[in-house]
Structure 1
Amino acid sequence: MIKIIYSILCCLFFISCTKEYYFQPGEVWPDNHGVHINAHGGGILYDNGVYYWFGEHKVEGSIGNTAQVGVHCYSSTDLYKWKDEGIALSVAPEGSGSDIEKGCVLERPKVIYNANTRKYIMWFHLEPKGMGYSGAKSGVAVSEKPTGPYQFIHSFRPNAGHWPMNVLDIHITRPVPSSGEQFSGGSLPAPPDSLNLLGRDMKGGQMARDMNLFVDDDGKAYHIYSSEENSTLHISLLSDDYTRYVGKYKRLFVGRHMEAAAMFKRKGKYYLIMSGCTGWEPNAARSAVADAPFGEWKELGNPCKGKDAEWTFYSQSCYVLPVQGCNDCYIYMGDRWCPKNPIDGRYVWLPIQFEGDSFIIEWKDRWSLETL
């Protein structure tokens, strides 16, 4: 009997050690408690052999489109199995008057590590409670540990009082519209330069909505975000401690209405994947390449190929993950939004393939890292 039990245990151990894991885009993705991962619009931090996934914690019903809890964190060593690490950044109680009071809009949190200060820095798109999407601010929080707790330190609009590197004379000389005049995030009555949205917001700071972070090999960090009523992307250099702007930034894709930008680097080239502005509805992804973050960006078109490529496989980009220890391996991370019940939003992770200086993304029902 003892030998039989020992044999059964050995078999179970062997099966557990040889179990194959897969990514299944768009399916429910359970954590270590068997609960669907709650980290929407997220990003990944790799630190000391561990991946940390940060994202918006959603709740049931339409109220879930506002921040009711905060930013959730999960950890993994293999990218398949994720451990719930709890809430990394909690929203402040109602009535507190905090910019991140419960009921605010807190979107697309990203975390980077600062080797000089030895702190973990979280940035996110913030709309203070009751302001709709007119606040268009950046929020910053800091922690001593990757899992938190993160302490909210400040929020602001980018680069107040500074013109971009590629400012035009018309921005400086043309009259500006009223600071109270707002436009739709998906369209404008005229091109952004003729409206002089840049000049309108120069003194108080430029708008910042959908955002991402990128740390280059030299340690310099950049903030990429939708600005000028979502009509134009901006990329800004961050301070050495990664908690503020230094006034150096550039406008990209003027009037193209880009959002959901994610930047990554491969073989000396810098890449962006983005989406158009169609609210919660999916659209065709867009991509671009440059030789430097502040370089000349060339659009490459929709990187998605095959069935449902025109809808980015019913997802929207949120991050591109370089896989550690794997040569030339990158993963597209996207969200399938579910605005009527946000907690049921799904994740679409797909491998990225390269063709010359461009890249492509193809749908796969199931895939593993061995595919890369």
Structure 2
Amino acid sequence: MNTSRYTSFRPGEEWLDTEGRPIQAHGGSVIEVDGTFYWYGENKELTTPGSGIWHWGVRCYSSTDLYNWKDEGVIIPPDEDDPTSPLSPQRGMDRPHIVYNRFTGKYVCWIKVMSGSVQLSTTLVADSILGPYDFARRDFRPLGMYAGDFDLVVDPHDGKGYYIFERVHTELIVADLTDDYTDVTGYYSTHLHHGRPPFTREAPSHFRRGGREYLVTSGTTGYYPNASEVASAATIHGPWEVVGDPHPDDASRTSYRTQVSSVLKVPGRDLYIALGDRWLPDYTADGAEAHTLFDEYFARIEAGEPDLGMRELTVPDTSRARYVWLPILFEDDGRVLIDWRDEWRLEDVP
């Protein structure tokens, strides 16, 4: 038993659960249920180079203070027996997002599943945040599109749900969810057309503040970190206006070597926390290197060389990935800043 207790956030340092084991909730999010926070994400404990294992299910942790996390186990286990299952450890299951549907009383989880350049979606439902989860829809293409990184949004007023996703290597899509949140209705809007990677925006992380909608996004450079971007809109279907780089003090242009996966609003506070992954904890180069790698990659594609997939650019040991949680600051001129701090506490932010 780990008897020490955290009293602060230490971005980029190893974060242990209450049993003293490294937390495995990558590409994750936090949901609050009846006064308890649940942090869930990709379990990468077995994802080491050469293992052939992309994930070992979705793991979840609980906390009442956001610093100390109890392991609640694997709430969506891997399917070891069926290599075609969306939950097969060999398939690229990424970025689970869970929302509660107050009309059905169900928790709804979306995942994306990668197979080379093909990216499909799967939805699951449960009666409890901790599961068990059952499939609702498997391996489908929302709106007939390949859907990459995404976020789920529920309007707190009317309960309407939205699915914000990267149309792979193209643009961001905001799509209305069906009433049960397990599919899309067909109504959607398109945004942030930045061309091909590394400029295409991915990893959309939504939050709402002061009657406005916000999205934090990253460029598309595989596991290599790049410069984030923030956009804002009056309504979720936009139009979305880019309000700048949230890390203007980061000379490396790598978002402090972090990719934001979601944004948490602390209940009862005007406090928002960007939850990020440092996928390559030992990587220290600047963002220009990642852009160069992708320019070379697309030059090979245009020359007719085989498309081996974006993953050829790096084979990281994601079992060692770290977490970077930082407060979001709002400037009078409309800029949104994610403020680097070596160590910080909730009470440090007004």
TM-score range, shorter chain: 0.7 to 0.9
The one-letter code matched in structure 2 to 1:27 is E
Give the corresponding residue for 2:177: 238
Partner in structure 2 of residue 333 of structure 1: 275
**Is residue 26–residue 41 contact of structure 2 (8 Å, CA) maintained in 1?**
yes
| Equivalent-residue separation in structure 2 for 1:269 and 1:309 (angstroms) | 30
Cα distance in 2 for residues equivalent to 1:132 and 1:21: 42
**What letter matches 1:221 in structure 2?**
G
Give the structure 2 partner of residue 138 of structure 1.
121
Counting helix residues as a fraction of each chain, which structure ranks higher? 1
- Alpha-carbon distance, 1:309 to partner: 6.2
The residue type equivalent to 1:344 in the other structure is R
Give the 5 Å matches for 1:207-356: 207-217=146-156, 218-227=158-167, 229-256=168-195, 257-308=200-251, 310-326=253-269, 328-338=270-280, 339-356=315-332
CA contact (8 A) 1:308 1:314 kept: no
- 1:77-120 CA distance string (max 9 Å, x none): 11000010000111212336423223111101111001111111
In the alignment, the residues of structure 2 paired with residue 65 and residue 289 of structure 1 have an alpha-carbon distance, to the nearest angstrom, of: 39
C-alpha distance in structure 2 between counterparts of 1:22 and 1:235, whole Å: 35
Alignment of 1:22 with 2:8, yes or no, is: yes
Instruction: Tell me how far apart the structure 2 counterparts of residues 66 and 222 of structure 1 sit (CA, whole Å).
Output: 31
* Structure 1 range deviating more: 88-97 or 34-43: 88-97
Secondary structure of the 2:24 match is coil
The corresponding residue for 1:196 is none
Shift of 1:255: 3.2
Q: Does 1:50 align with 2:27?
A: no
TM-score of the two chains, using structure 2 as the length reference: 0.83
Contact 2:6/2:67 (8 A) holds in 1: no
Q: Which of 86, 94, 98 pairs up with 2:81? A: 94
Is 1:76 the equivalent of 2:63? Answer: yes
Native 8 Å contact 2:42 2:55 kept in 1: no
The alignment yields a C-alpha RMSD, in angstroms, of: 1.7
Rounded Cα–Cα distance in structure 2 between residues aligned with 1:65 and 1:259:
25
CA distance in 2, matches of 1:115, 1:233: 27
Matched, 1:38 2:21: no
For 2:106, the equivalent position in structure 1 comes to 119
8 Å CA contact retained: 1:65, 1:342: no
Query: Deviation string for 1:119-176 (max 9, x for gaps)?
Result: 111111112xxx3231x111111111111121222231112xxxxxxxxxxxxxxxxx
SS in 2 for 1:312: coil
User: Which residue in the other structure is 2:134 paired with?
Assistant: 151
Q: CA deviation at 1:66?
A: 4.5
Identity among equivalent positions (%) equals 39
Matches within 5 A, 1:196-211: 205-211=144-150
Residues matched between the structures, number = 304
Q: Equivalents in 2 of 1:62, 1:25: separation in Å?
A: 25
Which AA in structure 2 matches 1:22? S
- Using the TM superposition, give the Cα deviation of residue 279 of structure 1 relative to its aligned residue in structure 2, in angstroms: 1.1
Contact 1:42 1:109 (8 Å CA) reproduced: yes
1:107 is aligned, of 94, 112, 136, to 94
| Alignment partners' CA distance in 1, 2:93 and 2:20 | 26
Q: Which runs of 4+ in 1 moved over 4 A?
A: 63-66
* Counterpart for residue 283 of structure 2: none
Which runs of structure 2 are paired with 1:186-205 in the superposition (5 Å)? 205=144
Residues 287, 303 of structure 1: 8 Å contact kept: yes
Partner Cα distance (1:91, 1:113) in 2? 22
Residue of structure 1 equivalent to 2:337: 360
Structure with bigger gyration radius: 1
Check conservation: 2:244, 2:335, Cα contact below 8 A.
no
1:299 maps to a residue whose letter is V
What amino acid does structure 2 have at the position aligned with 1:61? Answer: T
Q: Using the TM superposition, name which of 265-274 and 330-339 deviates more.
A: 330-339
Supply the distance in 2 between the matched residues of 1:24 and 1:74 (Cα, whole angstroms). Answer: 18
Does the 8 Å CA contact 2:41/2:95 hold for their aligned counterparts? Answer: yes
Taking a change above 3 Å as real, the CA distance of residues 210 and 237 of structure 1, as seen in their structure-2 partners, is same
Q: Secondary structure of the residue that 1:305 maps to in structure 2? A: coil
Q: Is the 8 A contact 2:47 2:54 kept in 1?
A: no
Distance 2:89 2:178 in 1: 29
